[in-house]
Amino acid sequence: MLPGLKRIVLAAAVGGVATMAVPATAALAINRATPCPRSDFVQVTTSLNYHHCFANAGVMSVTINDAKVFRSGNNTVKFSFSDGNALTLTPNVQWPPFSPTKTVTRITIY
């Protein structure tokens, strides 16, 4: 094999191995969203009527105390609570007020 061709074949082989080693997953980038409230965003409303809004698929650790009302917006979303329980909502659902309120520790938007 010619020396130049040998380098090209070797570089292609190494590049193929490097490409196979990186998993093909979508970037997940949940973020806080404004303006809030908005009907297409995931929303958590506290007992003091403070609105927390989130957009885009992903997982985010949070601490939202006194959470009372949960809205999914146009998403399927899972709210995880400090007591170990969780609430999963399908798109365009509002969960009635919790009594007593909850502390949200994690939000997962699918």
Q: Which two tokens stand for residue 38?
A: 């908005």
* 83: in domain: yes
What is d(CA 99, CA 58) in angstroms, rounded to the nearest whole number? Answer: 28
What is d(CA 36, CA 106) in angstroms, rounded to the nearest whole number? Answer: 19
Position 3 scores a pLDDT of: 59
Residue with tokens 């130049």, as numbered in its chain: 4
Position 26 scores a pLDDT of: 47
Pairing of strands 31-32, 51-55: antiparallel
Position 68 scores a pLDDT of: 95
Residue type, 7: R
pLDDT, tens digit (0-9, with 9 covering 90-100), for 77-94: 999 999 999 999 999 999
10 compared with 40, residue with greater pLDDT: 40
Number of independent structural domains in the chain: 1
Domain that holds residue 85: 27-109
* 22: in domain: no
* 36: in domain: yes
* 10: in domain: no
pLDDT, tens digit (0-9, with 9 covering 90-100), for 28-66: 689 999 889 899 999 999 999 999 999 999 999 999 999
Position 73 scores a pLDDT of: 96
pLDDT surpassing 50 at residue 19: no
Position 20 scores a pLDDT of: 46
**What is this structure's pTM?**
0.73
* 42: in domain: yes
User: What's the CATH code of the domain at 67?
Assistant: 2.60.20.30
* 67: in domain: yes
CA nearest 106: which of 44, 34, 41?
44
Q: Which two tokens stand for residue 110?
A: 């699918």
4 DSSP assignment: H
